[in-house]
Structure 1
């Protein structure tokens, strides 16, 4: 009887979080998306180079833009204002009614490759990653621009802005901080697995890893990211495959630059599929769907925890010089979430919403002790947005589902 009651409870939970509203942008994979809490608007840019503006309540179309050349490569809302970064290095702002847009900044003169892979707009400033590893800060009012290069990172995977600092990860697993006042970049070391997503939580940041884990950087009370970082280590297991994985990731990232394979807005450049066969780790390239990253780095060895390198291997790089300084000693705490990739993260109060590569949406407490399945999309969930009493889950195949939060 206890077993039957338990099964019934599971069934009740499974159906209680079913999707209330859903749609599928048929025929077009999603390359990027953004959401405004201010006006409840969802912006979706797809592989057909079409930008759709949707009402998040009923997912009805508000407006649509088609781009023949210079496609969109990143999107962000600041309040009700939508901004877009383009493959040619331009950044534009859309009108309030989404009927038009106008250029604000042109970074095409930075380098041969200047597409805006990441875009964040807040507090009157634009923060962008241009090309492979250039981080840009632009003050909208004064029109002052500053730049630093993230030396050692081939391409950027995630970019999080918090408390006067940019926390950035690369496809080579590197982790950087950039002081937004001085634009000084510090290379903190490398994660053992690629970060596919990031979110600010309490006094730190969590990264969703390709290994199905979440890496948590916790900071001491009163500490600032611009100062020394102190975190805790959950596991220090060494991996002989580390250097091989690094080289494989870098080689594939370079190859993916050809043919515009790096235009995914979530910066999920086509990664490697890592498999375990007779105990040996072997990297293999997989097919690419519509120049999208349908594959990420899968670590078949579930025991492989992500951690940062020892502080002796870290160095601080100042963008204004080649001076090298002693770096902080950051380490990371690991939580095993799933065997599927952690593609997206959302923090709402004391809850963490997790989008997986298999389409599942999970809900967890901040300590990752109680994890529940909230719902499931048909494909990898690349973004989760908060909308009052619901969350919006966007999949790479164009499926959008709205799930009611559990009361």
Structure 2
């Protein structure tokens, strides 16, 4: 089912056309085999970076594309519709660049052109085995050590769980404790992958997204020199949470793309498969199920775009980001489950991709903050109340 989109400029329309072409020619033909073999497609990120698609929402002077977030998210959705693991990877890479772009010094930001151009791949280290939804409970520590590295050097010790691109990334954005002052005692660091003492455990054996490597990263006396701290000491958690708002919109777009892919496959099958002398899409029971799937996909898309437009207008959007993540990922779980139902027994086999879509959808209700955490964020925002606002945009 073709997606109807409204974009602000012809440049944005051209970017979406380019993305569809790359998704059709470079991503879709490789996805099933790579997922089955659990192969990480590092070269794909270089291809997307060289096409200018990794750094779209970042300023041109930093090496980005200078595009509104609503455009970037629709590009991300198109990527995910072809290959969800790559969509997740693009979102995580963008999240790993966020602190550097927003809080990095000019010297630190010299990394950004290669990051946003895909030559350097990023990872984001926040969660720990005992501290998933409660990042303020983290134990990974960063201790100052003047030593050989000079003033301002830190030594990092600890472990970070569930790291997307773990073991494959070129740099790691790491949250570590620099004091015991609770949430105010966490700082943000950029750690090169070749740092001595940094290692990755064996990748997790996951239900889905098997083309996206996830691993625990271990920091065993990792020394980080040359102005490594992003922002000031103690600002790490605020940097992380600000990035997570944007990251939740990224996952909402990825989940919407995954659901769109499942819907497209289900509709195509229902148009070809016949029972009782006509295509099954013409049977009301099946037709109504597909109609509900289409409504769920459109609802998810409208929800993440509404939040993105708030972000583009420099308005608070944290509550709306949580709503978008909640709605899009719950809808993706339902749509992919229903897609399996449309295909019947065939949907339960690995000969058709919808069983993979269903497995991939599940984790989207879990990462970037579980959907229970999203409900907590939303309910707390409701409790705070506040007056309605109307913002005029050009």
TM-score (norm 2): 0.24
TM-score (norm 1): 0.24
Determine which structure has the larger helix proportion and give its number. Answer: 2
Determine which structure has the larger strand proportion and give its number. Answer: 1
